[in-house]
Amino acid sequence: MTHGKVVGAVERPKFNAGPAKFNKFNRSAMPQRSMVTGRSQEPRERFAEELRRLRAERKLSLRELAKQVGWDSSLFSKMENGQTLGGPEVVQALDQFYGTPGLLVTLWELALLDPTQFKEQYRRYMILESEAVNLWHYAVSTVHGLLQTDGYARELLSLGGAKGAELDQQVEARVGRRSLLEAAEAPPFRAILAEAVLRTPLREPRQWQEQLEHLLGMSDRPNITIQVLPQGCGLHGLVSSDVMFLRLDGRTVAYVEHAYRGELIEENGSVEQLQRAYDAVRDTALSPAKSREFILRMLEEYRASHRPD
């Protein structure tokens, strides 16, 4: 969400007991019970738990681990306590060091995309977002979460009152969603930005420059299309609403956001009405090439106006 995978039904195994009666006295008719490890089933905690287990097996202190792997011991402490997930580089390094190729990276990815780390009202949307085969969005005043830098996400989320460890976790969850667009088989994503988005800078000039540079970098990706809707285009059907469309398996849903609330739209007629409004905006927006030139020009103008004397 800018302010800030539905799971299919699980197919239950079928057991054919034949003519035997299925009751507590007939053990031959009952399914074999799977082993329970006792480890956490919550992805973020499971990742931290595995990190603690692997280090304990090696009988290493955090300082000794840091010396051998090459990162600061405070980072490993935060990762093992669940305060941060760390980045892909450090996780890959730990996989290599512990001799667990792919294990920690897999747990890290599951934790990164775990919908329970998001506020409850957003979790259903997050599940759908991660399952979408195509995404397209219109932004009224802020950059969408999938395109935000760490600095942009931090300032925006802090406006909602988050601070300290809570803010750190929300920022990590927000920017972690970028992996959806950066994967090897990432889905297509089209983002239309109202000009107001590009004319609402962050408080810190360097952070705003990084966000504009990030938009240009993302627009180079083959699966991402970014367009700008100039201010002079006038009123349109989405003038006051951010909207994200998610193409799922055989259907499309929309998530509409206003100032203080969002709503998941699944009814076909309402989605089609929003889609017509979006199509009209897309037809009016600058082409992807012209949009890139527009963003680049804004970046150059901003750099020029914020050069130290």
> Do 59 and 52 meet the contact criterion of CB atoms below 8 Å apart?
no
Please give the span between the terminal C-alpha atoms of the chain, in angstroms, as a whole number.
Answer: 38
Beta-strand (E) ranges in the chain? Answer: 134-139, 189-194, 224-229, 242-247, 252-257, 262-265
Say yes or no: 73 and 215 in one domain: no
Say yes or no: 98 and 189 in one domain: no
Q: What is the 3-state secondary structure (H, E, C) of 85-119?
A: CCCHHHHHHHHHHHCCCCHHHHHHHHHHCCHHHCC
Say yes or no: 264 and 218 in one domain: yes
Average pLDDT, integer, range 263-275: 93
- What CATH number should be reported for the domain holding residue 164? 3.30.870
> At which of 90, 112, 134 does a domain end?
112
> Do 81 and 168 meet the contact criterion of CB atoms below 8 Å apart?
no
In a domain, 33, yes or no: no
In a domain, 288, yes or no: yes
Q: How far apart are CA 297 and CA 195, in angstroms?
A: 13
Say yes or no: 193 and 73 in one domain: no
Percent of the chain exceeding pLDDT 70 equals 82
Percent helix, percent strand, percent coil in the chain, to nearest 5: 50, 10, 40
Give me 214's structure tokens: 């990030």
> At which of 87, 112, 137 does a domain end?
112
In a domain, 31, yes or no: no
In a domain, 66, yes or no: yes
Say yes or no: 282 and 226 in one domain: yes
Say yes or no: 160 and 269 in one domain: yes
In a domain, 5, yes or no: no
Say yes or no: 153 and 228 in one domain: yes
Q: How far apart are CA 157 and CA 4, in angstroms?
A: 6
Say yes or no: 89 and 210 in one domain: no
> Do 291 and 224 meet the contact criterion of CB atoms below 8 Å apart?
no
In a domain, 8, yes or no: no
**Full strand arrangement of the beta sheet holding 134-139:** 224-229, 189-194, 134-139, 242-247, 252-257, 262-265
Q: What is the pLDDT of residue 125?
A: 83
Say yes or no: 229 and 267 in one domain: yes
> At which of 112, 133, 152 does a domain end?
112
Say yes or no: 231 and 291 in one domain: yes
- What CATH number should be reported for the domain holding residue 93? 1.10.260.40
Q: What is the DSSP letter of 260?
A: S
Say yes or no: 149 and 90 in one domain: no
Q: In this predicted model, what pLDDT tens digit does every residue of 117-170 receive, in sequence order?
A: 555 557 778 888 888 999 999 999 999 999 999 999 999 999 988 888 888 888
Domain count, the chain: 2
Say yes or no: 169 and 63 in one domain: no
Neighbours of 278 (CB within 10 A): 21
Higher-pLDDT residue of 34 and 163 is 163
Closest CA to 102 of 110, 111, 92, 112: 92
Highest mean predicted confidence (pLDDT) among 68-72, 205-209, 231-235: 205-209
In a domain, 29, yes or no: no
Residue 47: give the domain boundaries.
Answer: 40-112
In a domain, 7, yes or no: no
Q: In this predicted model, what pLDDT tens digit does every residue of 56-104 receive, in sequence order?
A: 998 999 999 999 998 888 888 888 887 777 777 888 899 999 999 889 9
Higher-pLDDT residue of 31 and 228 is 228
